[in-house]
Each structure stands twice: as structure tokens, then as C-alpha cells.
Structure 1
Amino acid sequence: MQKILRQIAAELRVQENQVRTAVDLLDGGATVPFIARYRKEATGGLDDIHLRELEARLSYLRELEERREAVLKSIEEQGKLTPELRAAIEAAPTKQELEDLYLPYKPKRRTKGQIAREAGLEPLADRLFADPSLNPVDEAVAFVKKEKGEGGEDFTTVPAVLDGVRDILSERWAEDAALVQSLRQWLWDEGLFKSKLATGKDENHPDVAKFRDYFDFDEPLGRVPSHRALAVFRGRQLEILDAKLALPVEPEPGKPSIAEGKIALHLGWSHQARPADDLIRKCVAWTWRVKLSLSTERDLFARLREDAEKVAIKVFADNLRDLLLAAPAGPRAVMGLDPGIRTGVKVAVVDATGKLVDTATVYPHEPRRDWEGSLHQLTLLCRKHDVSLIAIGNGTASRETDKLAADLMKRLAAEKPNLQRIVVSEAGASVYSASEFASQEMPDVDVSLRGAASIARRLQDPLAELVKIDPKSIGVGQYQHDVNQSELARALDAVVEDCVNSVGVDLNTASVPLLSRVSGLSASVAKAVVRWRESHGAFRNRQQLLEVSGLGAKTFEQSAGFLRIRGGDNPLDMTGVHPETYPVVEKMLTAAAKPVAELMGRAEMLKTLKPELFANEKFGVITVKDILGELEKPGRDPRPDFKVARFNEGVEDIADLREGMVLEGTVSNVAAFGAFVDLGVHQDGLVHVSQLAHKFVNDAREIVKTGDIVKVKVLEVDAARKRISLTMKLGEAPGRRDGGRENRYEGAGRGQRAPQSAPLNTAMAGAFAKLQGQRK
């Protein structure tokens, strides 16, 4: 364990005692949000990002140690564990390198090399390799068998014996951990990732054409961006593409490859026209072509996929975090419109608390075209429930429904001048509508109308509504269906947990799904909290949590600080101050000679209190400073203020766009290669990473995040393929030291190919289409 703690500390660049304390807390059942928020003293201020990384590495390294013990035990039982091998195994830093070392000793089916050894050919193999001046044919004669073996093995001729020599040597070399690792690293650095159209596939077929960028594709393996790697792997899985690992330079026919040269160099052998050199060259070639080429390709493709999946999962997690922490509209009555054509526009009105108060279905579009009747019905609903916001789903007929909302606002302009309309993502709304929780929440409401209610609530509080939906259904991922689903789920659940706990949860209004994401609260305890609330009424103080069935002292410790009670018995219960530190606050109140209600929000008064005076052995200066920060802004919401993007009038369809137009839009998704922007024309536009800023951008999230409102200029519109290319480089580029020479595709570099046909680059076309296909 000490070794693991030391390694994690080195990787995170923190002190070993910080890691030890964090691990003890995690092993003791503490959650990451709780440790990050309320145990800063103990961990030396490790934040949630450090703790999540620590948690993941701890799991990996523990699994590695467990496997290491199993490997050592297995080799020891075989009587083959030398001190040198033990040292190498104990020093192996990864699971891959550990398995490389174990490979020669791993129980396996009888191989040709093993059969040859059992036939007594190993001394011949050793002799010929040690002294290539020996004549292989002459030496092999003594090893020729008079008859076949009992298992059918045939070494009755000299060629068969020499084939056995080849099998012994090639198998031995292919299990040489140092050789395998050096080849693997060399090909990762210099090998090529190649793909082409699979034989027999029609390149004009719509499903095949999506992969057009990869019909004749190659890129250095270690530098392939995540989205391109996953695109090729998907094409291969669909049997549209053939993919392979290619050597940096293909060998001439009949000549040894570079890989074979690398093997020979590692073995310390070279062809010197000695009698056995041709045989050894054949063994070297066999080692690469038969034993190592396919296994190395498999290992490196697995590494490429794993690295690509990590990036894709991080992109999804980052986008999800931005979406969950998007600005809430707050307690305002909202009308949700779920657009539809023949089935009508579903309407749901929720009050300021999110309670569903009215529903309707209107038919402004084909085939009824009841525009006036729809406007009349919506007007009545707005007046009846004092609606101040209209949320419009971004699905089919969204733009037409947005026009309906615009006409409604004109009709109500005199009496409701501040009425606003916003197009919101409806990704996952249908999943929520059909869920068990939705049926419990709105039992007597039609499934289609539940979706409209969800759209309305997303505007009020994105976090509270989106936690009801499986994160994978929210639609902000990059190749989310192609990655390891358990790893994706783990990462997304961690993001949801961190977001919920960073904002805090109103104990008296939160739903079961929201409560179950609070630190320490399981789904069953969350249900018990709601049952208690329904039976006893609103919680008056945090201590009442201990009356909830199944909620003990440990759960209370983990959860209480993240649960808020507004208008309760103790003003501190609406803050992020943990109940365990209330005595510290009491000391502050005594020093200030003020009741807590007068102290909260009084920055000038709080600044006169010296944190050092209130620190003790359990709660140090860091914790006291956090308490003062909470008191200064009690119940503060870390999310940004609510703003609305204003779409240009007359721009309602992709056909309305023209090159050079400057528009305002909302960032709907951020991928490794750029950002997608909703312009209100049914189809999101793409700002390629090279068009985000007048500087090199390595990660699109350096510039934009999901939910940001941005200004963009239209570079190119391909209406037939529904693709819009945008730029955020609206002003002049800053002066350059190179005398003003500007690369047209500034930002294209390592992992960022310059567009092949500016400005809508074909290299992004496949990824663009696939991501759009995942939005719903």
C-alpha cells in the first residue's frame, strides 16, 4: 500500500500524507464531494478533480497489485521464479508490462514450439543460433526421428526438424518482454494508422458515404485524434472500412522489413552469409509476420481505442458539467412547447415551483394549420398562469413553433413586455417521459405532454431536471456509443454527483432523483426522505434528517452540508456551512456580538473577524475561511446568470443563411475538433477548432463551453448535406512577430489537420454527420 500511496503522490504532485488521508477517508465511506468540501484540512486542500483522479488511480493500482501477486504465485509454483524475474515483475508499472513478463510462463495450449521442445529440438535451436557457422542440415540429421510421435507430431525429415527450430526460436523471441515492448513503442511513435474502403462496398451508399474521409486514410498512429480513431473503428465494426497498422516504410518485395531489422538488432544478430544465417533470417521474419505483427497491431489498436475513449469520455463529461451548471431561469412560470407537425404541439405550463398546472395540444402546422386557434389557446394559458418564459424544444418543427411563439409575444406585447422565448435542447425528454419516475411524478398526464413539462422545467433549473435522465441520453457526447459504457457511466455519474453537490439541494423541494445524487444519500434513503417530508411536512432544520428511517449518523455527516432549508429554524441551514461546524459559528457570533441573521451577508463585518481566532484542532484556518465565505454570500448559487441568445429575424432555415452573415447562437456541444452552435435553423453549425480564435487552440473548451452564447460568422453553407461552417474569428488577427505572415488554417497542427477544402473541411464531415445523428 505504501508503494501505491507513493506513486499516486508523485503522479498528482502532492504530498504522500495528503494521499494517505484521502485514501483513508475514501476507504471509510466518505464521498469525493464531502472530502473536497469539508475535509480540506485533512487532505491539504485536494479538490474534487484531484480526488477523482486519485480514486481512479487507486482502483487501477490496487488491481495491478492484486494481479502482480497472482503472477508471482503462478511462476513460483512452476519453480521458475528467479530473483531477476521477481524484481522485474515487482517493478512493472502497468498491467500491459506485467502481462508481457508473464507471457512465457502463462499456462497455454500446446504450441508448435512446445511440441518441438518436447521432441528434444531445443538444443539444436540453441546451437544454431549461438553459432551460425554450423550447417543447419548437417546438424539437424542427428535430431531426425524414425517415426511420428504419439500425438501425431512429425519430425521424420530434416526440413520438419528445421521447422521445429524455427517454431522454438520465433516463439521464444515473441515472448521476450523487452523486445515486444520496444517494438510496440516504436510502432506507436512511427507506425501508421491506415484505413480504406472495404472490398465490395458501394461508396455512394448513404451509410457508406459517411465514412468517405477514411476511404484512403493514413495518419501517424500515436497522433490520431480521438474522433478520427473512433470513426475508423466504427467503420471497421460496420465492415465498411478495413483498418490496419502499417510500418513507417513498406518493405520492397523479398526484402526484410524495418520491423525484422529491429528484431535482429535486439537479438544482436546480423546476416553474414554464414551457413545458418538464412535459417535465422527466416526465423526472424516468422517472428514478426506470424507471431508479432498481428498481436502488436491488436495491442496498439487497443491502446489507441482506450486513449480515444478517454478523450471522448472527457469531452462528454465536460459538456455534461457545463450543461448541468448552465444558468437557471429561476422561479418563474414557464410554458413548455414540444414541437410536432401532424401530432400537434404539446403544451405544458409549470408554475414558479416547477409544478405542472396546465396542459394542452395545439395544431398550428400541417394538416390542420389552425394558427389563429393555437395562438388564442396559448394566449389564454399565458394570461391564466402569468407565464414569463416560453421554452421551445429543438426537435422537428422547432423553427415553425418558434415563429408561433414569436407571434404570441407580439400579441401579448402590451401586457407582457418582458415575455421571452428560448429554444432548448430536448435531448432525453422522450426517455424521461416514458420513465417510471415520470409516471410517478405525473401519473395522470399523457406521455407526450410529460415531455413538454420536462422542457419547461429545464429552463427553470437545468440541473434539477436533467438529473432525472440517464446522462448518456442527454446528447452532448462525442462517439458516446462507441466507448466503454461502464467507464462512461462511471465518469458521467461522478460529474452529476459533483455538480449537484457544488450547487446544493433544497431539502424541501428536491425530487428523489436529485436527492439520490447528494453525497451519502442512496436511492432508498432519498425515497425515505421524501416519504418523511410527505408525512411530516417540510423539514424545519437539518437535525430532523436523523428522524428519517435508514439515515444514520454517517449518512448525516456526508449529506447534511449539501442540503439546504430555506425559511427554517436556523438560518445556517440554508448555507453550505456543515452542522458539525456550527459551534465555530457560535464563537464568531459571540465575538461579533450579533445574531447569525444580522451577520450573514455583511461582508464588511465578517472581514473584521480573524480566522486564526476561531480555528481549533479539528477545524483549522482553511475551514474557518470557508465558513466566512459562506456567511458572506449565504445560499449562493455558483451557476452564471440567465441570458438568452437572440436569433436573427428572418433566419429560420438553413436556406436563409448566407456567407458572411454574423449571427448569435448558443453552443450546443463541444467536441475535440470544434464546437457546434445552435443558430435556430434546425441544423447546428460547426466552428472548427482552427476557427475558434486568432491563436493556436489545443482544446475547444479553452474558448467555449456548452451553453455559451457566442457570435459567429457564416463561412460556408452546404444545404444539400445540411452542413454549416462557422468562424468566431470576427475581428482582425493580432499583430504577429513573423511580419504578418498568417497561416490560413491557423490552429492546424499536431492532431489538428488543416482543412482540405476551406472552409468546410471534409476531414470533419463524417464526424459532423455522426455527432448530429447522436443529438436526439
Structure 2
Amino acid sequence: MAETKQRLKDEEAEGASGKIELTPEERAAEQAAIVKRVSAELNLPHGKVKAAVSLLDEGNTIPFIARYRKEMTGELDENELRSIEEKLQYMRNLETRKREVVRLIDEQDKLTEELRGAIVAAAKLQEIEDLYRPYRQKRKTRASVARERGLEPLAQWLLSQPRQGEPLKEAARYVDAGKGVDAAEDALQGAMDIIAEQLADDAKTRAWVRRYTFDHGVLRTEAKDASQETVYEMYYSYQEPLKKLPPHRTLAINRGEREDVLRVALDVPADKIRDYMDRQLVRVGTAPEVRAALVATIEDAYKRLIAPSVEREVRGEQTEKAEEHAIGIFSANLRNLLLQPPVRGSVVLGVDPAFRTGCKLAVVDETGKLLEVAVSYPTPPNNKVAEAEKLINGLIDRYGVGLIVIGNGTASRETEQFIAGLIGKRKTDKKAGAGDLKYIIVNEAGASVYSASKLAAEEFPKLDVAERSAVSIARRLQDPLAELVKIEPKAIGVGQYQHDVSQKRLEETLGGVVESAVNHVGVDVNTASPSLLAYVAGINATTAKNIVKFREETGVFTDRKMLQKVPRLGAKTYEQCIGFIRVPESANPLDRTPIHPESYAVVDKLCAELGLKLGGLGSEPFRAALAALKPDEIAARIGVGAPTLRDIVDSLLRPGRDPREELPAPIFHTDVLSIEDLTPGMELQGTVRNVIDFGAFVDIGIKNDGLVHISQLSGKFVKHPLDVVAVGDTVTVWVLNVDLKKGRVGLTMRKPG
């Protein structure tokens, strides 16, 4: 695959001058064929795919289509729509490449109808590149040198496979010192080089060898220095069939190879491949010496030209699949993290732990507004515990702090011990509110990235980097989504091998995840930051800043229609975004719901049908009337599709609802637990911090998260951990084993006995 991409780069200049433009009829026919293939490959109804493609081409966003165009797409969800969008782009690129390859071969006067048909019928980019390979302009090769020396006829003679004849005698006719052919052996070798390249460029042969290599290849790894202690020790002498190699091991081995720790080889039963090539090339009755030359050529073609290239392609394809899998895991974890329930109504003290430089403190009010920053030194080497207690007690009493949030970075557990002790002393001293004061440790991944960003500098120009980090830690408990959107998604540490995958692909996918989460929840236009608004469907970073600037200059938005006055927010953007925007200050209660303004008239008809007044929204009589409604029966009567009416009714039943509030709240603590306190069989409550291929890491309140191996997630077979747990889940676990030396804890979710 990497080789294919390099070819495309090499030909950019060559292809730029002669792009083929399609007529409207040809483009329509191509579009119809692509829609048909997308439908077949994704196993989705043709009509749904056709409607989705049409809506995408019109510039509609995926969240908008999924929510507000259900009748047109037959209720395709966001995941299906994103799959359609990706497959559509691939197919269109494929067709463009087909036309380009046809043109490039035709310019060489080598395009046959059979070849054109094979290119047109190709279903994958790799197939097209295999067909184009013999015609691609190559750098200087042994075969090209042999052709320059006039040895092509000798190669053709060998390929004619005469029943009689001696290759060296025939080759003697081509000896020409002036052309660099000094002996018959040189001429014969040159002819064999030409044939070897032809064999290596044969599309059918390459496809067969590639498939056989994947099916029967065994990946072997060994250490370059077995005495060196590294995280790759399990791969110091390791082998596994390539097709059975799981994604996480593929990426781990790749990293070990890239870091020059591992030596990696792919072993393939070469005899079987040579036998196949022999059957394809050599005919019965060929002169023995000619046959021997061809067999030697096959050996050379496979060993020198095909095997290295196919190995790169097969491992590249395996890596791409592993990367897609890893990105999928990261995406699922990220979505679950973003949709964690907000903890509202408390003044929060955020703590960014540290040793030498001290713990940075930030107090924020119930809305996330910064009240005060400070620094304390309760941890080694300073150990100013009494001074830190006085400072933090003062902040708690002055602002009525109800929750303390500690980042899980360096010195987090030492800081936790100090905070737990402080809370205990407050209870002993019967300080006001001492019984309600709790703490929690949160994942601070990305906080340092945000705090050093231009965005953080604009938001808190007078704070230093660590102080900004403390603010971010406090806010990510109050509203995880609003705070985490300020951080580059890949910097939020809930993935596996995220630094080993295509960063462009990772960024695109995670951006879609954040967009989906933001639009799922909805955004309060009067409090949202530009970072949050930029993920609303249809709104880009510039428009988001314009919205905030308009809000600052003219005051709060009082209804959804005011958005139309924002500079550069056109009609299309308004249509796409407005259903995901909430305006709590609006006199129209529908402006606080996910109901799109285009459906407000439908709500009026619905209320008239049920004899309701919109002013009674949220009252028990209003809810009772809606609960008794059968949307599918009256949808046509009020002029709307049943899916849209169901969504409208759901929104009216729970106006102002935040879907995140249905999830369990995080676990808060008042006392500290250490690894030394753990014993096998102990039952604990924990929070899932990360889900990976081989299990889940659970925060049980000690320094390092415990691991629940995939085999311990359930008493039943588990195909993947994500089928059982998700980031943010509160789970009951039991201690399996404790390794004090390595600081590792094994957990199980299978109740003992």
C-alpha cells in the first residue's frame, strides 16, 4: 500500500496535464454505478444510499442528515452515514484513478480493449496498480538495461519455449562488446532479467502470490540485542501466522522494528509459489535447457522482485487494518469519555499535582468561572503540609468548595493522601460542610497540551501554564465535553497505539467523534466557547468566533432567529446548525429543545390535535397526553413523517434534557486506598479509564489502574472488551493478584465462587 501511494506521488506531475473531463451523462452513469457498489459493499438498501449520497453532495452535514432527514434516508444512523461518505470518496477516487491509468497507457499506444476492460472492472486500487505496473515509467533496472542492449528478441525466444535449442548458442548471436554484451552468458542473463521483470509485473501472478503470502505467511521476530531490557521482550523470539496476528500485536511489532529493537521477517513456503509460477509459465515439451533457464528466471523473479515487494504490500495492508482497528477503539473510548455526565452545582477546587514545583490550585464556581489560583507544597521534597493545609482550608471556607479534583499525573497519589488527610481533619474538627466535601481523581491527559495552547493563552493570559492546567482539571469534572473539546482529540489518552497510526486518519476520525458527541448533547449558545461551537454541525472555527464576538458585543441571544444576524452565518449554515443550538433565554420553549425550527409548525399542529397549549410544556397533563400518543397513526394527518414526529414527541416529553444525565455519576472518595491495602478476593468499586483489545483498565483508587483481562470481564465468552464495558462505566471488581514490586494489580469482574 505504501508502494502504491509512492507511485501516485511519482505520477502527480505526469497526470496533472491530461485529466479526463466527463460529460454530464457520463458523470450521471458513473454516479449511479458508484451508488450501486456502495450499497452492495455496505449491505445497505440502494434507495437509502442514493438519498444519503444526494444529501451529502448538497452540502448537508452528517449530524443534520441523521437527525433531521430520517424520512429521506430511511433512518440511517451516523455510523452508517459516515461509512457511506468514506466508501463514496474511495469509489470516486478509484474511478478517477482508472481514467488516469487508461489515459497513461493509451498515450504509450499499448492500451488494448482487454486491458481497458480489466481496468474498468477493477474493484480495488491495488488491482488497478497491478494492471498499470508493466506500463509505469520505471527507474533504471536490470531489465531496462537489457532492453537497451537489444536483448528483447532473445527474451522472446526463450518465452516461445522451443522444443529444441540451446539458450547459450542462441545467446551467442547477441554478443556485442559495443553494447556491453561481452559474452553469451551476459546476453542470456539479460534476457532472463527481462522475463523476470515481466513475471514480477504480471497482475494475475502478483494477486495470487499476495493472497498466498497472507494466508500462509508466518511473521517471525527476534531481538537485535537479547540482553537489552525493553517492553518488547515477549517478541524477542516470537512467531505467529500473519493472518492470525491481532491488531495490537501488529502495531507493537511495528513499533519495536521502527525503534530498532526487533528484527522482523515474513516466512512463506516459497516452493508452493514457485510451483504455481512454473505451472503458469512453462509448457510441457519445452527443451530441457530452455526450461532450466525459465525455472532459474522464476526463482530470480520471486526472490529478487516479487517477494520483497509483496511482503511490503501485505504487511502494509495488515498495518492499515490494525490502524483502523486501533482508531475504532480510540473513537469508542473517546465518545464515551466525552459523554460522561457533568457534575453541576458545586464549587470545585482543581489540583494539578507536582513534586518540586508544587501543586497548582484553581477554584472555579458552579459555572466554571475562575475565582482564584494558588500554589501549595505538600509533597516531597518540600513537605510543607501545615502551610498547604492552611492555604487550602482557606480556599474551601472562602468559596464553599464542595469537590476537590486531582489530576492523575506525577505526584497524584501523594497529593491524594494529603487531600484525604485534610478532609479527615476537617471532619474531626467539625468544620462547616466537612461531611459533604469529597475528592476525585480525573484523567488529566491533554491538560498540559491545552494549557500550553494559543487558546488557553487567550482564555487566561495572566496565568502560567500549570495554573491553566489546574483550571482545565477542575472544569473537566463540571462539564467534560465543554472542556475536552478544547484539546486536540488525539492528546486525550484513551486509545492504544494512537501514536503509531496514520495521524491524518486519526485526526479525521476523532474529529467526527467529537462532532457527533457535541451535536448529540446540544450547545447552549450563550455560554459555549468557540472551541465547542466549532464542532456544531455546519459551523467552522471562523463562524464560531463570530458567534461569540456577536454575543459579547450585543448581549445574549434571546432566540434562535438571532443567529441569522451573525456575520458570515448564511442560510445553509443556519439550517445545518440551528437544531443543535439551545437558547435557554428564549421565550419560545422550543428554542431549548432539539426540535428544528422547520418543524415548529408541526408542533403547533400537534398541540392543536391534542388540545394542548405550548405554555404547558413540561407539565404532567402535557406529558400524559404525549405519552398516550401513537405517532405512527397521526403523522400523516399533521403532515410529517413518522420518524420526525417520534423525535418531536421525545423532545417535548423531556424538554431541556441533557442525555448525559442518564449515565451514572462518577465515584467520589473521602479516604485513600494504597496497593498495600489490597488482598486477593477484596471487592471494590471502580471506574473504567481505558478499554483496549486485551482488557480494561479500572481506577480503584490506587496509584496505578488495575487491569481486568478480557478473560476476566465475564463468565461468558467475550469477543472484545467493548462488548462488555465502556470508558466511564462504574463497575464492581474483585482483586485477583497484587504485584507490589511492579505496582500492578490484576482484577476480575467475575464474582468469586
TM-score normalised by length of structure 1: 0.88
RMSD: 2.2
Partner of 2:214: 188
Distance 2:174 2:628 in 1: 97
Could you list the per-position Cα deviations for residues 467-498 of structure 1 after superposition, in whole angstroms to 9, with x for gaps in the alignment?
00011111112111111110000001000000
Aligned 1:201-220 pairs, distance under 5 A: 201=225, 203-206=226-229, 209-220=230-241
In structure 1, the residue corresponding to 2:177 is in which secondary structure? coil
- Give the C-alpha shift of residue 137 in structure 1: 3.5
Aligned to 2:130: 100
Query: Which whole-Å CA distance do the structure 2 matches of 1:520 and 1:616 have between them?
Result: 32
CA offsets, 1:76-108, max 9 Å, x none? 122222121111101111111110011011122
Contact 2:220 2:264 in 1 (8 A): yes
Letter in 2 for 1:531: K
Q: Deviations over 1:426-460 (max 9, x none)?
A: 11111111212212222222321211111111111
Deviation readout 1:356-413 (Å, 9 max, x if unpaired): 1122222222244232332233223223222222111111221222222223333444
| Structure 2 partner of 1:603 | 623
SS in 1 for 2:512: helix
C-alpha distance in 2, partners of 1:544/1:650? 51
Q: Does 1:495 align with 2:513?
A: yes
Partner of residue 61 from structure 1, selected from 49, 73, 91: 91
Aligned-pair distance for 1:667? Answer: 1.3
Q: Is the 8 A contact 2:223 2:236 kept in 1?
A: yes
Matched residue of 1:686: which SS? strand
Name the counterpart of 1:665.
686
Show the 5 A alignment for 1:523-542.
523-542=541-560
- Deviation readout 1:596-623 (Å, 9 max, x if unpaired): 1314463321134453535489841211
Contact 1:512-1:530 at 8 Å conserved across structures? yes
- Tell me the CA shift for residue 139 of structure 1: 4.6
**Mapping for residues 311-460 of structure 1, pairs under 5 Å:** 311-413=325-427, 414=430, 415-416=432-433, 417-460=435-478
Q: Output one character per residue of 1:609-638: Cα deviation in whole Å (capped at 9) or x when no partner.
A: 453535489841211111111101112222
- 1:124 matches 2:142: no
Q: CA deviation at 1:506?
A: 0.8
Structure-1 residue corresponding to 2:578: 560
Q: Which moved more, 1:610-619 or 1:397-406?
A: 610-619
* Residue of structure 2 equivalent to 1:148: 178
* Counterpart selection for 2:310 from 281, 296, 299: 296
Counting only pairs closer than 5 Å after superposition, residues 659-698 of structure 1 correspond to structure 2 as: 659-698=680-719
Partners of 2:697 and 2:253 in 1: CA distance: 22
Counterparts of 2:359 and 2:469, CA distance in 1: 11
Contact 1:500 1:518 in 2 (8 A): yes
Amino acid at match of 1:588: L
Contact 1:197 1:242 in 2 (8 A): yes
1:479 to 477, 484, 497: 497
Is 1:458–1:466's contact at 8 Å kept on the other side of the alignment? yes
Contact 1:615-1:624 within 8 A present in 2 as well: no
Aligned residue type for 2:730: I
The match for 1:109 among 129, 133, 139 is 139
| Contact 1:9–1:19 (8 Å) recurs in 2 | yes
Q: Is the 8 A contact 1:140 1:161 kept in 2?
A: no
Amino acid in the other structure paired with 2:721: A
Taking the aligned partners of 1:116 and 1:396, their CA distance within structure 2 comes to 64
- Which SS does the other structure have where 2:659 is aligned? coil
Contact conserved, 1:226 with 1:307, CA < 8 A, in 2?
A: yes
Overall identity of the aligned pairs, in % = 43
Residue type of the partner of 1:279? A
Q: Equivalent residue of 1:388, what SS?
A: strand
Residue of structure 2 in register with 1:738 after alignment: none
Shift of 1:233: 0.9
Q: Is 1:7 the equivalent of 2:29?
A: no
1:696 and 1:165 map into 2 onto residues whose CA distance is 59
Partner of 1:643: 665
> CA separation in 2, counterparts of 1:14 and 1:616?
30
Q: How far, CA to CA, are the matches of 1:135 and 1:724 in structure 2?
A: 75
How many angstroms apart in 2 are the aligned matches of 1:36 and 1:550? 25
Post-superposition offset of 1:159: 1.0
Corresponding position of 2:201:
175
CA 1:665 to 1:501, structure 2 compared with 1: closer, same or farther past 3 Å?
A: same
**1:301-312 matched pairs, under 5 angstroms:** 301-312=315-326
Closer, same or farther: CA 446–318 of 1 in aligned 2, 3 Å: same
Partner residue of 2:751 out of 730, 733, 748: 730
2:739 aligns with 718
Rounded to whole Å, the distance in 1 between the matches of 2:366 and 2:732 is 31
Residue pair 1:647, 1:663 contacting (<8 A) in 2 also? no
1:379/1:104 Cα in 2 relative to 1: closer, same or farther (>3 Å)? same
The structure richer in helix per residue is 2
CA distance in 2, matches of 1:698, 1:6: 32
Aligned equivalents of 1:336, 1:279: Cα separation in 2: 77
How far does residue 649 in structure 1 lie from its aligned partner after superposition?
Answer: 5.7
CA distance in 1 between partners of 2:637 and 2:197 (Å): 66
Query: Which residue is 2:191 aligned to?
Result: 165
Match in the other structure for 1:629: 650
* Matching residue within 485, 489, 501 for 1:467: 485
What's the CA shift for 1:119? 4.2
Correspondence for 2:80: 50
Larger deviation, residues 470-479 vs 136-145: 136-145
- Secondary structure at the aligned position of 1:540 is classed as coil
Aligned to 1:704: 725
How far apart are the structure 2 equivalents of 1:132 and 1:210? 59
Moved more, 405-414 or 544-553: 405-414
2:257 matches 1:236 = yes
From 586, 605, 612, the equivalent of 1:587 is 605
CA distance in 1, matches of 2:328, 2:391: 45
Distance 1:269 1:528 in 2: 75
**CA–CA distance in 2 between the matches of 1:600 and 1:30?**
32
Q: In 1, are the aligned partners of 2:282 and 2:291 still within 8 Å (CA)?
A: no
Q: Tell me: CA distance 1:616–1:60, structure 2 relative to 1, closer, same or farther (3 Å).
A: farther
Equivalent in the alignment of 2:18? none
TM-score for both structures, normalised by structure 2: 0.91
**Distance 1:618-1:232 versus aligned 2 partners, 3 A rule:** farther
Q: Deviations over 1:576-599 (max 9, x none)?
A: 000111111111122233221314
Q: What is the alpha-carbon distance in structure 1 between the residues aligned to residue 380 and residue 236 of structure 2? A: 42
Q: Secondary structure at the match of 1:6?
A: helix
Whether the 8 Å contact between 1:41 and 1:623 is mirrored in structure 2 is: yes
Match of 1:762 in 2: none
Given residue 736 of structure 2, which amino acid in structure 1 is its aligned partner? L
Partner of 2:66: 36
Report the CA distance shift for 1:133/1:338 in structure 2 as closer, same or farther (over 3 A). Answer: same
Contact 1:665 1:711 in 2 (8 A): yes
Contact (CA 8 Å) 1:317, 1:492: kept in 2 or not?
yes
Moved more, 364-373 or 394-403: 364-373
Give the counterpart letter for 2:365 in structure 1.
D
Matched position secondary structure for 1:59: helix
Taking the aligned partners of 1:279 and 1:573, their CA distance within structure 2 comes to 81
Equivalent residues of 2:172, 2:183 under 8 A apart: no
Find the aligned partners of 2:276 and 2:676 in 1 and give their Cα distance.
Answer: 58
In structure 2, the CA distance between the partners of 1:258 and 1:718, relative to structure 1 (3 Å rule), is farther
